[in-house]
Structure 1
Amino acid sequence: MIQKGFNKGVRVSHEERIETDLVIIGGGIAGVCAAITAARKGTKVALVQDRPVLGGNASSEVRLWILGATSHMGNNNRWSREGGVMDEILVENMYKNKEGNAIVFDTILLDKVYLEPNIQLFLNTAVYEVAKKEERKIQSVRAFNPQNSTQYLFVAPLFCDASGDGIVAFQAGAAFRMGAETEEEFGELFTPDESYGELLGHSMYFYSKSTDQPVKYRRPSYALKDIKEIPRYKLISKTDMGCRFWWFEYGGRADTIHQTEEIKWELWKVIYGVWDYIKNSGEFEDVDHLTLEWVATVPGKRESRRFEGLYMIKQQDVIEQRNFPDAVAHGGWALDLHPSDGIYSDQSGCTQWHAKGVYEIPYRSFVSKDIDNLFLAGRIISATHVAFGSTRVMATCGNGGQAVGMAAALCIREGLLPKDMQEEPRMTMLQNELNLVGQSIPHVPIRSEQNLINDAVLKASSVLKLGQMPAGDTWINLATSLAQLLPLSVGQAYHFRVNVKAKEKTTLTVQLRISEKPANYTPEIIWEELTFELAPGQQSLEIAFSKPLENSQYAFLTFLSNEKVEMEESDHQYSGILTVYNGENKAVSNTGKQSPPDGIGIDTFEFWTPKRRPEGKNLALQSTPEIVFDSKNLGNGLTRPWLKPNAWVAELKDEKPKLHIEWEQTQKISEIRLFWDTDYDHAMESTLMGHPEEVMPFCVRNYKITTLTGEVLAAVEDNYQTLHVISLEKKVNTKGIVLEMEHPSQHVPAALFEIIVR
């Protein structure tokens, strides 16, 4: 029994002092990725989250799907899904939760953090006070958890603000911005005018379900009474739910920090008014059995403060895909701005303008220019309002969070401050450490000297020389232009053969297209064009291009639309090869072609995008010369398709593909890293949407690694992840190792992007 008498003074709450290496404030996707990345490098991390679950806008409290450079597979960014921990989380979610249950996704994030012994997790813990050691350095932060009535004092040499509104950076005195910059300040031509507004608002969603008996609905007093107050009310559908109602947005004309409660009430007014409209207006059939299952209680925030770093990324950096020597992350979402009036605006719910490919994000944008021991992560990084329209999405935030986590770990190890990491050779070290865990920084391969296989002789039991993609049982109509995306070699003039069916005598135009920038997948250059007269019926088409390519890069074997023509498809799938279509994806403002108004600094180009499986099969075709997936691709430091497939692929007829790695001298091996193909082109939306597969079809599930003498170093079954790190308990002395794999399926040959032996 505890019994205490009257206290004339004020009782002090229970307090705990936490001393650690790195304090991360904010447990959204950026904070989670930063914490896991740092912890795996041996850094002691305190992850402080003011909500009961992790994930921020991706959590079950908000239920927004995670997206980034893949953009719903609706842009020209092929194989662009974010790597590292961000990829690991999304792949894990596919395996355990391909249906997109937000509650299950909560458990996946918690599990990832729970499994890291170097992370102390503090849920329901809100930071409210910052103490500084000196003008430019944070000493500690205070937080309070109302669930256990405990105050915490977090003390560390380094801090990361991933809190969304930037509570720590703000209290520490760091320079920040809210709203849009003028065109004159950075030369950005897409800056919004006053009528459009300077801030994006908050959103809240709801879920509904069907019951076995009729359910009445009587609206609360605060529900919106006149649905016509919403100019776009005719877009409301009884079958939509969750973040498909992303345009239920409000608050861009308000203070998106201090007026959040008022904004929340307005969004509740909208949601319950919309549900009243669905249930009781008579405009919808078959809604008697529908009932509300869930309504958000906290809003998903888009924009508030942005803090000034050592560099501020801007529109031109995104659109022109500018290169940075300190690139540590990448983005690829559109410049996506919303009218500040949100759901009450008579304008489109968003204005999305895409770049022709992915862009780099420099390390300097994650480092406060004012506070020496403070990193910035998530939506508060150093970006203009226009660039923020792209950098703000969660997979991009997670990608940046990983960079911060790794940089913090290296700073702790080397006794450095964040700004010191931008200098050489430290930046090269940071980039390489990130790439070793799967970051895949554009234009930056893993350093070859980090990989013992570059001193070895590699012998593969077979090498896929793709001269033919075998015909299946299906044909696709050319109502929409399509292209087979293929990695072609410099100096070669390619010939192809395909089978077509013509309903009647007609003409078919075939083009070989390439991208102006070899690493892009926007086919704006028609390299060569041929025209064919087709007779009625099935026939074989010989396509002989005469103009050799000037670069090794992906090219588009393009067939322009003709609904009188069908093309034969293949059931076989290969790493780094797919079909794309000049179709539409309205979810990301893709209507087949981007046609911006003059004078806003945005490019005009066509979209050529893939279809989701089981659609989007490869064409049945023959290629001369063959496309070779050589084992020489291993050791080049690239872990996804980029300019070429960068994979060793075995032949399907090779029943037990093997890779022998042999050295002249005995090596001491402590670690083997394997980078498998989990289809970086698939947008693994985390919530609501659902996916056809729990394991990507290209992923090698079963494999074994032995020494040349047969000692088993690893035997793995049912793998589904991209990166597998085999850390040996004791160093092994050997003159070679053997990797033996199984093909993923009868139509998909085994592929490996990279193997790193250290």
Structure 2
Amino acid sequence: MIKQDAAGVRSFPEMNIVVDLAITGGGLSGVCAAITAARQGLKVVLVQDRPVLGGNASSEVRLWILGATSHMGNNNRWAREGGVVDEILVENTYRNPEGNPVIFDMILLDKVSQEPNITLLLNTAVYQVEKKDPSTISALHAYCSQNQTTYILKAPLFLDASGDGVVGFLAGAAFRMGAEKKEEFGELFAPSAEYGELLGHSLYFYSKDAGKPVTFTPPAFALGDITKVPRYRSFNAREYGCKLWWIEYGGRLDTVHDTETIKWELWKVVYGVWHHIKNSGEFPEAANLTLEWVGMIPGKRESRRFEGEYMMVQQDVVEQRVHADAVAFGGWSVDLHPADGVFSEKPGCNQWHSKGIYQIPYRCLYSRNITNLLLGGRIISASHVAYGSTRVMATSAHVTQAAAMAAVICREQNILPAEIIGKGYTNALQQRLLQFGQYIPGLRFAAPADLARQATVSASSELVLKEFPGKAILKPLEVSVAQMVPLQAGKVPVMAFHAEASAHTTLDVELRISGKSGNHTPDVTLARLSLALQPGRNCLQLPFDAQLEEAAYAFVTFFKNPDVQLHYTDKRVTGLLSVFNTVNKAVSNYGKQTPPEDIGMEAFEFWCPQRRPEGHNLDFKVSDGLPVFSAANVINGLERPVSQPNAWVADWQDTQPALTLTWPAAKAIRTIELFFDTDYDHPMESVLMTHPETAMPFCVRDFKVKDDAGNIIAERKGNYQAFNRIELDKPVNTEKLVIEVAHPSAEVPAAICAVRCYA
């Protein structure tokens, strides 16, 4: 037993933790940063003030994770973020395709607990900062309410991914809150005072069918008059969770210090909404529904933004400006909300997309006046308008992985964050990120240590796509569709498609490309054809009179015609997609973006894929074939489609696909890195939405790696991740590596996106 005599004053036990990097905030950004740094050898403490990890993505809030893919509702193809955040999304899709938020909590805890270099402190809030001098943090003080323990966290580097910027605020880092006037940065989309300067919080609820009638008596604080919500007629008995993202409030208040007040107002609305659904008599289908869960904390959108050496602005997003120190990318729309939220007469959001993804520079990821403070998550250096795009979780996590890798280089070189640029380590940071799958637009992996780049690469076969095997699938041309075809520079080859017509009609076809290399917005028309169709089957020869100046995806575009059915195929291939000129209201996609002339946004059409099991490729033929899937692609420094597929793809008829790397003399190889295709176009929303597969259909599941003597040095079965890192117990001396892979299915040929080898 424990027995203590009376005492005047007692204090809680105190524990000192000394690490290389202290990360505050256990949302998705902090988790990805901690794993990134820990795997590179840093000792990390991850401090989270909640009982679970994930922040807005956790079971406490239940917002789905999104980023540049934007629900597949924009023109950002193959734009899912890379690195650890991608690993987590792929893992969740494999283990949790139903989108259970509790399972997602488990996956995050599992990932962090597997890293021996991470010390995780849950239920622990940072409340004080110690400083060595006015510009240097020396320690953090934190308190855990569950074990009544105070922690002193000491480190040479600190990363604030806390959402509200608690460390930056306490340390005296320069920050902003609210919207800049349009004159400061020339941002034409800067909001007016009437619209409001801050995005509010949201709070969600879940319902379920109890199998019998359920009554509901609302609490006294519930909103009694639902008509105070201008869009109350939008509520229904089917939608719940973050599909009701527009239950938002607080943009006129202090979104840090008034959070509890905001939460109570949101509770009033949520219970008032449920009272309306259950008791108004307008929703008889809700008779058996019960309120299963209501959020206890709101999901925060905006509070403090901290100033770095550079501040991203609207033009960086819309113009896709190039930065020499780019370390990440974004692609969500510039998404601003009225400050009055759910009580506003205005639409719940005001979303305007750019034509493609944009770079995010490293200079936004560290404080301009606190020398050892890195910035992560939604608090990075961006104006209110640019923040409207950078704030979403997958983008925030991608950015914070870069900040964590910067910390790794700082520790290795004994420098401060700003000195990465000043002392010439920018390229080293970029290459380190690229190595582990952190795609940075415009850059390629080209590390001298990669022995694969010195090899001659060959394969058992290379798909030269002339036509798709198997029977065609007929689908009506109810909406305009385009087949994205990867073409090389030069004369556009003649392509053949097939159509079934129910009457004499004319089919309009265009050949389009993107006006900007690496984009996938088909905004430039190179050629047009009007084809006369006869009733029945028609073979459509498309002799486009056009030249491509560089390799690019061409969009063979068929405009809707109710008298026509086109031939599709059930075969899917890495780097091939069909896209449709359809509507996706969830991301303000109405087929065409037509902004007001005075807000600095561009007008263009949306051409987006359909989710599987739909989204079949159009069945087409090219007499000379498309030679774009060569073995050499695996060492070109790209592991995802951009302007070409950037992958080796085996022929369908190859019964034993294999890729071979050969050196003129034996190499001592200890580490092998393989990238497979986990479909970077699939957004993989983490909760609420379900997914048609667990493992992506393009991903190689089974592979073997052999040396020049035929010995198996590595083998995996049931793989579903893009990035596979093989660490051998001891180096193998070999003149050759043979990577044998199995086709994922009869419909999808095997593909490898990248191979890297190190001594």
What aligned pairs does 1:655-670 form with structure 2 within 5 A after superposition? Answer: 655-670=655-670
Does residue 654 (structure 1) correspond to residue 654 (structure 2)? The answer is: yes
Partner of 2:707: 707
Partner amino acid for 1:676? Answer: F
Q: Give the match's secondary structure for 1:466.
A: coil
CA distance in 1, matches of 2:697, 2:669: 31
1-side partners of 2:346 and 2:605: how far apart? 24
Shift of 1:448: 5.1
- Show the counterpart of 1:242: 241
Deviation at 1:492, TM superposition (A): 2.2
In structure 2, what is the equivalent of residue 395 of structure 1? 394
Where 1:258 maps in the other structure, the secondary structure is coil
Partner of 2:353 in structure 1?
A: 354
Confirm or deny that 1:17 pairs with 2:16. Answer: yes
Equivalent in the alignment of 1:680: 680
Would you say the 8 A contact 1:469–1:619 is kept in 2?
no
Q: Is the 8 A contact 2:514 2:522 kept in 1?
A: yes
Residues 318-343 of structure 1: CA distance to partner in whole angstroms, max 9, x if unpaired? 00000100000000000000000000
For residues 165-314 of structure 1, what are the structure 2 equivalents within 5 Å? 165-314=164-313
Residue of structure 1 equivalent to 2:35: 36
Deviation at 1:205, TM superposition (A): 0.3
Amino acid at match of 1:349: G
* Alignment check: 8 A CA contact 1:469 1:572 kept: yes
Residue type at the aligned position of 2:149: T
By how many angstroms is 1:437 displaced? 0.6
Alignment partner of 2:273: what SS?
Answer: helix
Native 8 Å contact 2:208 2:291 kept in 1: yes
Aligned to 2:536: 537
1:368-447 mapped onto 2 (5 Å cutoff): 368-423=367-422, 425-447=424-446
SS in 1 for 2:104: helix
Deviation of the 1:449 alpha carbon: 2.5
Any idea what the Cα deviations from partners look like across 1:569-596, whole Å, max 9, x if unmatched? 1010000001000001000000000000
Distance (whole Å) between structure 2 residues aligned to residue 399 and residue 348 of structure 1? 29
Q: What residue is the counterpart of 2:721 in the other structure?
A: 721
Q: CA deviation at 1:349?
A: 0.2
Counterpart residue identity of residue 688, structure 2: L
Equivalent AA in structure 2 for residue 561 of structure 1: K
After TM superposition, give the deviation of residue 474 of structure 1 in Å: 2.2
Report how far residue 423 of structure 1 moved: 3.5
Q: Whole-Å Cα distance in 1 between the matches of residues 446 and 635 of structure 2?
A: 9
- In structure 2, how many angstroms separate the alpha carbons of the residues matched to 1:562 and 1:476? 12
Q: Offset at 1:398? A: 0.6
Q: In the aligned structure 1, how far is the partner of 2:469 from the partner of 2:581?
A: 24
Q: Distance in 2 between matches of 1:666 and 1:213?
A: 72
Partners of 1:413 and 1:547 in 2: CA distance: 52
Residue 405 (structure 1) shift: 1.0
State the alpha-carbon separation in 1 of the partners of residues 525 and 664 from structure 2.
48
Partner of 1:521: helix, strand, or coil?
coil
- Write the distance in 2 (CA, Å) between the matches of 1:395 and 1:413: 27
Classify the secondary structure of the residue corresponding to 1:418. Answer: coil
Counterpart residue type for residue 643 of structure 1:
S
**266-275 or 652-661: which moved more?**
652-661
The one-letter code matched in structure 1 to 2:733 is: N
SS at structure 2 position matched to 1:413: helix
Residue 264 of structure 1: CA displacement?
A: 0.3
1:424 Cα deviation after fit: 5.7
Give the CA deviation at 1:469. 2.1
Letter in 1 for 2:243: R
Give 1:618's aligned residue.
Answer: 617
Cα distance in 1 for residues equivalent to 2:454 and 2:404: 31
Give me the whole-angstrom Cα distance separating, in 1, the residues matched to 2:754 and 2:130.
46
Q: CA deviation at 1:473?
A: 4.7
After TM superposition, give the deviation of residue 462 of structure 1 in Å: 0.2
Aligned counterpart, 2:747: 747
- After TM superposition, the structure 1 stretch with the greater mean CA deviation from structure 2, 654-663 or 341-350, is 654-663
* Equivalent in the alignment of 1:341: 340
Does the 8 Å contact 2:61/2:295 carry over to 1? yes
1:285 Cα deviation from its structure 2 partner: 2.1
Q: Report the Cα distance in structure 1 between the residues aligned to 2:463 and 2:88, rounded to whole angstroms.
A: 31
Which SS does the other structure have where 1:725 is aligned? strand
Question: Which residue matches 2:149?
Answer: 150
Cα offsets for 1:690-744 (capped at 9, x unmatched): 1010000000000000101022111110000000000111111111111100000
Amino acid paired to 1:90: L
CA offsets 1:370-391 (integer angstroms, 9 cap, x no match): 1000000001000000000000
Aligned-partner residue type, residue 710 of structure 2: G
Secondary structure of the equivalent of 1:720?
Answer: coil
Distance in 1 of aligned mates of 2:488 and 2:555: 13
Look up the match of 1:694.
694
1:643 aligns with 2:648: no
CA contact (8 A) 2:237 2:285 kept: no
Q: Is contact 1:470–1:620 with CA below 8 Å preserved after alignment? A: no
Once residues 711 and 428 of structure 1 are traced to their aligned partners in structure 2, the CA distance between those partners, rounded to angstroms, is 37
Q: CA deviation at 1:76?
A: 0.2
* Paired amino acid for 2:369: D
**C-alpha deviation, 1:551, in angstroms:** 1.6
- Per-residue displacement from partner, 1:40-96 (whole Å, max 9, x unpaired)? 000000000000000000000000000000000000000000000010000000110
Post-superposition shift, 1:453?
Answer: 2.1
Q: Where does 1:553-568 land on structure 2 (aligned, <5 Å)? A: 553-568=552-567
Task: State the secondary structure of the residue aligned to 1:23.
Answer: strand
Residues 20, 554 of structure 1: alpha-carbon distance in 2 compared, 3 angstrom cutoff: same
CA contact 2:477–2:565 (8 Å) conserved in 1: yes
Moved more, 472-481 or 19-28: 472-481
1:486 aligns with 2:482: no
SS of the residue corresponding to residue 375 of structure 1 reads strand
Give the whole-Å Cα distance in 2 for the aligned partners of 1:425 and 1:748: 44
CA contact (8 A) 2:333 2:354 kept: yes
Q: Do 1:448 and 1:635's aligned partners in 2 also have CA atoms closer than 8 Å? A: no
Amino acid at match of 1:619: L
* Partner Cα distance (1:185, 1:213) in 2: 59
Query: For the Cα contact (< 8 Å) 1:143–1:151, is it kept in 2?
Result: yes
CA distance in 2 between counterparts of 1:494 and 1:321 reads 31
The 1:424/1:679 distance shift into structure 2, 3 A limit, reads farther
Check the 8 A contact 2:371/2:416 in 1, yes or no.
yes
Aligned residue in 2 for 1:600: 599
Report SS of the residue matched to 1:757.
Answer: strand
Indicate the percent of aligned positions where both proteins have the same amino acid: 55
Between the two proteins, the alignment pairs up a number of residues equal to 757
Q: Does the aligned pair in 2 maintain the 1:26–1:164 contact within 8 Å? A: yes
In 2: Cα distance, 1:19 partner to 1:452 partner: 37
SS of equivalent residue, structure 1 residue 541 = strand
Q: Which residues of structure 1 form unaligned runs of 5+?
A: none
Partner of 2:3: 3
Residue 466 of structure 1 aligns with an amino acid whose one-letter code is L
State the alpha-carbon separation in 2 of the partners of residues 573 and 473 from structure 1: 13
- Is contact 2:323–2:359 with CA below 8 Å preserved after alignment? yes
Matches within 5 A, 1:486-525: 486-525=485-524
CA distance in 1, matches of 2:142, 2:455: 54
Letter paired with 1:100: G
In 2, Cα distance between the equivalents of 1:660 and 1:94? 31
Structure 2 alignment gaps of length 5 or more: none
Q: Is the 8 A contact 1:496 1:621 kept in 2?
A: yes
Q: Which amino acid aligns with 1:585?
A: N
Partners of 1:226 and 1:540 in 2: CA distance = 62
Question: Secondary structure, in 3 states, of the residue corresponding to 1:318?
Answer: helix
The alignment partner of 1:47 has SS state of: strand
What CA deviation, in whole Å up to 9, does each residue of 1:479-503 have, x standing for no partner? 1100001111111222111110111
Query: Would you say the 8 A contact 2:204–2:241 is kept in 1?
Result: yes
- Could you tell me how far apart the structure 1 residues matched to 2:430 and 2:44 are? 21
Tell me which amino acid in the other structure corresponds to 1:678.
T
CA deviations 1:343-379 (Å, max 9, x no partner) are: 0001000000000000000001001001000000001
Pairwise mapping of residues 625-636 of structure 1 onto structure 2 (< 5 A)? 625-628=624-627, 629-636=629-636
Higher mean displacement: 87-96 or 557-566: 557-566
Which residue of 2 is the match for residue 738 of structure 1? 738
Q: Partners of 2:623 and 2:422 in 1: how far apart?
A: 47
User: Using the alignment, how far apart are the partners of 1:553 and 1:212 within structure 2?
Assistant: 54
